Homo-oligomer: A and B are copies of this chain.
Amino acid sequence: MIDAVTIWEVKVQLGELCKQQRQRYKISQEDLAQELGLSRYTIQKFENGKNATLDTVLKIANHFNLLEKLYQALKNLENTNDINSLY
């Protein structure tokens, strides 16, 4: 059994993804916050792996055009019968 991924690691990864996408489009935390109607502090905390609400996460995902992809991934999981469909 390989090391299981932890909730903490997923949150860190989510934050890093946000930071990476944001920097790719060369916008500041302040800019992103403004465009999403959030405070910069909320973006700041999210990018540093802190807890957040689903609305915050999905607003950010939507801004970087990742919502459709997420939705389809969820649809696929629904059709996946087995727990570990690895093969």
A positions within 8 Å CB-CB of B: 4-7, 9-11, 13-14, 16-17, 20, 51-55, 57-59, 62, 64-71, 73-75, 77-78, 83-84
Residues of B within 8 A of A17 (CB): 74, 77-78
Q: What copy number does this chain have within its complex? A: 2
> How close is A68's CB to chain B, nearest CB, in angstroms?
5
Residues of B within 8 A of A77 (CB): 17, 66, 69
Residues of B within 8 A of A13 (CB): 71, 74-75, 78
Residues of B within 8 A of A62 (CB): 7
Given A54-B11, A54-B53, do A20 and B67 touch, yes or no (CB 8 Å)? Answer: no
